[in-house]
C-alpha cells in the first residue's frame, strides 16, 4: 500500500473539527458542496462535485489525492457507497477506501481499508487490516469483477460488534446487492477509529477518472420488514413478471400457492424466481381489457420477513392488429418553429400497447418506431409529436394527457403519406392515409397550422371525402381529442342518407359540410352525384363516375363547380348509381345551406 505524506495542516484541521464529530455520515453530494455537512478535508482542491452530483477527482496533474472526514462509529456499522473508476485499474491507477483509521498516516495507523484495483486482469475488491501500518489481507471479492472499464460497484459493508464482517456488492448498479464474503475479525474496535477517507493514485491520463457517490455510515438496523412489490408486468397472454424491492426467499417465491388471480384463473402452474423477480405462468389465457387482481401472500425476504398480503390490479394489453387503430388527424404544415403531429384512435374494444408500433411516411421511405410502453384504451385518441409544448401552447382544444413526444418521420407540407404498421417490412399496415393540401377546405386562405381531421372511422381512410380541415372554433387542430368534424359513432343504416339536412360551411366545427352516408347491398356501383339549386340549375357535381365502396360517405362543402360560395337556401342532391349487372339505384335528397360567415 502506498504511504502518502499527510500534511500537518490536515492533521490540525481534523483536530479542530473533532468537537463536532458526527455519529453517522451521509453524503450524496446533492448540495454541490463536499466541504460542509459533512466536512471533508485533505486535498480538497483536487476534487469537485460534478453536474451529476458525484464527487469527482479533478487533479491538475498525475499524483495522489486524499479526502478524509471524522465520525463516531456506531456499535453495529452499516456502510454503503458507490464508486466508479472510468478505466481498467492498474498498479498506477487505483483507489483505497479507508473504512476506519486511528491515525492519518497509514504507515503507522491501525484500521481497515478496501483496495479498488491492482495490476493484472484479476482486479478484485480486497479487504485489508492495518496493524501499526502493516497490511494483512482479510478477504477478496470476485476476481476480475472490477478489471474492465468502468470499474464500478455499489458496496455494502456490515460490521458487527463480535467482529463479523458481511460484504455485498452490486457491480451492475441494479439496486440489488449480492453477498460476496463474510469474515471474522475483531482485532481493532471501531470505538478507537474515527477517520473515514478515500485515496486515489493516478497517472496524467486518469487524473479525472475517479467518481464517488451516496456515501453512508449508519447504525445497522435489523431488517424486520417484508418485501414490497415494485412492479407487475404482463409479459404474455399467460405470463406475469413480478419485481420486488429486495432479495426474496426462493422457496416461498416459487410456491405457486402464494399467488392467486381472480376471474377464475386461480394460481399459476409455474413460478420461477431469480432472487428479486418472479416469473409466473398460468394455464388460462388473460383477456384484453378484463380487470384482474393478483393476490400475493407468504412470500418472504432472505431474513424470513413475509410480505404484507396484497391484491395488485392489472389489465392485459395487446399489440394492435389491423382494424384496431385508425389514423384520425395529421398536421404536416405547422406554424414556423412548430412540429408536425399524427393522431390515432383506438376503434377496438381492446386495451392496446403501442410499444413497437411503426409510423411511416412511404412517400419519403422514412419510418420511426415507438419505443415507449404506451397504453391506449378503447375509444381513446393519442397524438404523437416531437414538441408537445408547442401543441399545448398553440392549440386551445387539446388533451395534454393524450399527447406524447416521440420521433416522427418527416412530412412534406403539401403532400405525403402516413402509415402505421406492425413491422418495418411495410406489409401489414394497420392504417394508411395519403394526405394532400388540396383536401383542405378550399375557401381557407392559408392552411399553415391547420390539421386535416378524419370525419368517420367506418369510412375508408383514403377517401378524400373522409377528411376535412379542422374548424376555426377549435383553433384549427384538436390534438389528443375528438375531432371537430367527427361523425357520430352511430349513423343511419339507410342506403343513401344525409347525416344532417342543414349545414353551414363557416368553419365553426358545427355541421361545416354536408355528409352523405351510404350503405349498399353489394360492391361495384358507379355513381354520379349532382347538386341542384331550388330553381333546378346544376351548381356542382360532387361525384363523376366514381366507384363506390360497399359503405362510406361523400361530402359537399357548399361551393359551386367554379369554387364560389353557394347562396343560402335549399339544394337538391340527385344520385344515380349503376351496377355492371344492370342494377340501377336513384336517390333524391333535399338539404339546406344555412348562414355562411365570410
CATH number of residue 272's parent domain: 2.60.40.1220
Cell of 213: 457517490
Report pLDDT for 426: 59
Report pLDDT for 20: 40
Number of CB atoms found within 10 A of residue 494's CB: 11
Report pLDDT for 155: 96
Task: Answer yes or no: do 295 and 332 share one domain.
Answer: no
Task: Answer yes or no: do 44 and 180 share one domain.
Answer: yes
Average pLDDT over residues 181-208: 93
Cβ neighbours for 172, distance < 8 A, ≥ 6 positions apart: none
Question: Does the structure show a pLDDT above 90 at 520?
Answer: no
Report pLDDT for 427: 65
40 three-class SS: coil
The alpha carbon dihedral of 280, 286, 289, 290 has a sign of: negative
Task: Answer yes or no: do 187 and 287 share one domain.
Answer: no
Task: Answer yes or no: do 182 and 66 share one domain.
Answer: yes
Domain boundary among 315, 350, 368: 315
In a domain, 3, yes or no: no
In a domain, 320, yes or no: no
In a domain, 2, yes or no: no
Task: Answer yes or no: do 405 and 507 share one domain.
Answer: no
DSSP 299-321: -BBTTSPBPPPEEEEEEB-B---
Task: Answer yes or no: do 59 and 145 share one domain.
Answer: yes
CB 542 within 8 A of CB 494: no
Average pLDDT over residues 266-287: 95
Average pLDDT over residues 484-490: 68
Domain boundary among 219, 246, 279: 219
User: What are the tens digits of pLDDT across the range 296-352?
Assistant: 999 999 889 999 999 999 988 888 989 999 999 999 999 999 999 999 999 998 899
The alpha carbon dihedral of 485, 489, 492, 493 has a sign of: positive
Question: Does the structure show a pLDDT above 60 at 596?
Answer: no
| pLDDT band of 16, cuts 50, 70, 90 | very low
| Nearest CA-CA partner of 489 in 453, 511, 457, 461 | 457
Average pLDDT over residues 213-232: 90
Question: Does the structure show a pLDDT above 50 at 256?
Answer: yes
CA distances 347 to 194, 315, 320, 321, 356, Å, are: 68, 18, 10, 11, 19
Report pLDDT for 2: 47
CB 418 within 8 A of CB 411: yes
> Quick one: 366 exposed, middle or buried, by C-beta within 10 A (0-12, 13-18, 19+)?
middle
CA triple 364-369-371, angle to 5 deg: 160
% residues pLDDT > 70 (the chain): 94
Which of 368-382, 490-504, 545-559 shows the lowest mean pLDDT across its residues?
A: 490-504
Report pLDDT for 282: 97
Average pLDDT over residues 415-435: 86
Question: Does the structure show a pLDDT above 50 at 5?
Answer: no
Report pLDDT for 18: 38
In a domain, 224, yes or no: no
In a domain, 104, yes or no: yes
Question: Does the structure show a pLDDT above 90 at 12?
Answer: no
CA distances 574 to 210, 219, 532, 538, 556, Å, are: 82, 89, 8, 10, 13
Domain that holds residue 497: 491-598
Name the phi and psi angles at 509, rounded to 5.
80, 5
Domain total in the chain: 4
Task: Answer yes or no: do 134 and 276 share one domain.
Answer: no
In whole numbers, what is the pLDDT of the chain averaged over residues? Answer: 89
In a domain, 462, yes or no: yes
Task: Answer yes or no: do 472 and 419 share one domain.
Answer: yes
Domain boundary among 252, 282, 315: 315
Question: Does the structure show a pLDDT above 50 at 503?
Answer: yes
| pLDDT band of 19, cuts 50, 70, 90 | very low
Question: Does the structure show a pLDDT above 60 at 140?
Answer: yes
* CATH code: domain of residue 425: 2.60.40
Question: How many Å apart are CA 22 and CA 14, to the nearest integer?
Answer: 13
User: 159 pairs with which residues across the strands?
Assistant: 77, 165
Task: Answer yes or no: do 97 and 208 share one domain.
Answer: yes
Task: Answer yes or no: do 268 and 384 share one domain.
Answer: no
Task: Answer yes or no: do 518 and 569 share one domain.
Answer: yes
Report pLDDT for 492: 52
Task: Answer yes or no: do 285 and 338 share one domain.
Answer: no
User: What are the tens digits of pLDDT across the range 97-123?
Assistant: 999 999 989 999 999 999 999 877 789
Report pLDDT for 345: 97
Mapping DSSP onto H, E and C, the string for 56-110 reads EECCCCCEEEEEEEEECCCCCEEEEEEEEECCCCCCCCEEEEEEEECCCCCCCCC
User: What are the tens digits of pLDDT across the range 347-396?
Assistant: 998 899 999 999 999 999 999 999 998 999 999 999 999 999 999 999 99
Report pLDDT for 425: 62
CA 102 to chain CA centroid, Å, is: 49
Question: Does the structure show a pLDDT above 50 at 566?
Answer: yes
| pLDDT band of 14, cuts 50, 70, 90 | very low
In a domain, 421, yes or no: yes
CB 513 within 8 A of CB 503: yes
Question: How many Å apart are CA 82 and CA 134, to the nearest integer?
Answer: 27
Buried b (16+ CB within 10 A) or exposed e, 10-27: beebbeeeeeeeeeebeb
Question: How many Å apart are CA 589 and CA 575, to the nearest integer?
Answer: 9
Question: Does the structure show a pLDDT above 80 at 523?
Answer: no
The label of the residue with cell 402509415 reads: 419
Average pLDDT over residues 554-582: 89
Amino acid at each position: 500500500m502506498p504511504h502518502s505524506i499527510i500534511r500537518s495542516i490536515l492533521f490540525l484541521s481534523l483536530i479542530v473539527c473533532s468537537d463536532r464529530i458526527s455519529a453517522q455520515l451521509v453524503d450524496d453530494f446533492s448540495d454541490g458542496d463536499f466541504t460542509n455537512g459533512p466536512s471533508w478535508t485533505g486535498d480538497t482542491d483536487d476534487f469537485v462535485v460534478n453536474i451529476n452530483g458525484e464527487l469527482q477527482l479533478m487533479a491538475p496533474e498525475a499524483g495522489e489525492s486524499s479526502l478524509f472526514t471524522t465520525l463516531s462509529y456506531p456499535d453495529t456499522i452499516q456502510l454503503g457507497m458507490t464508486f466508479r473508476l472510468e478505466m481498467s485499474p492498474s498498479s498506477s491507477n487505483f483507489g483505497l477506501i479507508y473504512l476506519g483509521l486511528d491515525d492519518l498516516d497509514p504507515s503507522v495507523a491501525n484500521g481497515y481499508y478496501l483496495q479498488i484495483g491492482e495490476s493484472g486482469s484479476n482486479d478484485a475488491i480486497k479487504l485489508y487490516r492495518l496493524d501499526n501500518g502493516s497490511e494483512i489481507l482479510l478477504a477478496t471479492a470476485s476476481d476480475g469483477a472490477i478489471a474492465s472499464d468502468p470499474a464500478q460497484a455499489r458496496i455494502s459493508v456490515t460490521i458487527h460488534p463480535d467482529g463479523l464482517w458481511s460484504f455485498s456488492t452490486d457491480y451492475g448498479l441494479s439496486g440489488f446487492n449480492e453477498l460476496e464474503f463474510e469474515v471474522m475479525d475483531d482485532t481493532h474496535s471501531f470505538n478507537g477509529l474515527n477517520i473515514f477517507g478515500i485515496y486515489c493514485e493516478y497517472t496524467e491520463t486518469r487524473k479525472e477518472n475517479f467518481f464517488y457517490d451516496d456515501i453512508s455510515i449508519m447504525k445497522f438496523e435489523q431488517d424486520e420488514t417484508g418485501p414490497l412489490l415494485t412492479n407487475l408486468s404482463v409479459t404474455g397472454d399467460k405470463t406475469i413478471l413480478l419485481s420486488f424491492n429486495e432479495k426474496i426467499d426462493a422457496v416461498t417465491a416459487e410456491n405457486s400457492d402464494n399467488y392467486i388471480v381472480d376471474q377464475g384463473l386461480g394460481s399459476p402452474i409455474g413460478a420461477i424466481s431469480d432472487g428479486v423477480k418472479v416469473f409466473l405462468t398460468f394455464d388460462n389465457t388473460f383477456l384484453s381489457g378484463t380487470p384482474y387482481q393478483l393476490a400475493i401472500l407468504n412470500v418472504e425476504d432472505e431474513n424470513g420477513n413475509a410480505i404484507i398480503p396484497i391484491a395488485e390490479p392489472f389489465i392485459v394489453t395487446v399489440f394492435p392488429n389491423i382494424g384496431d387503430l385508425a389514423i384520425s388527424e395529421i398536421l404536416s404544415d405547422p406554424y414556423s418553429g412548430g412540429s408536425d403531429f399524427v393522431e390515432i384512435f383506438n376503434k377496438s374494444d381492446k386495451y392496446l400497447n403501442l410499444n413497437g408500433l411503426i409510423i411511416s411516411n412511404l412517400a419519403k421511405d422514412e419510418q420511426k418506431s415507438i419505443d415507449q410502453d404506451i397504453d391506449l384504451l378503447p375509444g381513446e385518441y393519442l397524438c404523437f409529436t416531437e414538441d408537445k409544448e408547442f401543441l399545448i401552447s398553440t392549440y386551445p382544444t387539446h388533451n395534454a394527457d393524450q399527447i406524447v413526444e416521440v420521433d416522427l418521420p418527416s412530412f412534406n407540407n403539401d403532400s405525403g403519406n402516413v402509415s402505421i404498421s406492425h413491422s418495418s417490412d411495410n406489409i401489414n399496415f394497420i392504417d394508411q392515409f395519403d394526405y394532400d393540401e388540396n383536401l383542405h377546405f378550399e375557401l381557407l386562405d392559408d392552411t399553415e397550422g391547420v390539421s386535416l381531421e378524419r370525419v368517420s372511422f367506418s369510412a375508408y381512410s383514403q377517401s378524400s371525402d373522409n377528411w376535412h380541415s379542422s374548424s376555426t372554433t377549435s383553433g384549427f387542430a384538436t390534438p389528443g381529442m375528438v375531432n371537430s368534424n367527427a361523425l357520430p359513432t352511430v349513423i343511419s343504416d339507410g342506403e343513401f342518407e344525409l347525416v344532417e339536412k342543414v349545414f353551414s360551411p363557416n368553419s365553426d366545427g358545427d355541421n361545416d359540410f354536408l355528409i352523405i352516408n351510404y350503405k349498399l347491398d353489394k360492391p361495384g356501383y358507379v355513381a354520379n352525384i349532382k347538386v341542384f339549386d331550388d330553381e333546378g340549375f346544376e351548381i356542382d357535381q360532387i361525384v363523376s363516375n366514381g366507384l363506390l365502396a360497399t359503405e362510406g360517405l361523400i361530402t359537399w362543402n357548399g361551393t359551386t363547380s367554379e369554387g364560389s360560395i353557394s347562396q343560402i337556401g335549399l339544394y337538391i342532391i340527385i344520385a344515380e348509381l349503376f351496377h355492371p349487372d344492370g342494377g340501377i339505384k336513384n336517390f333524391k335528397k333535399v338539404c339546406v345551406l344555412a348562414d355562411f360567415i365570410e
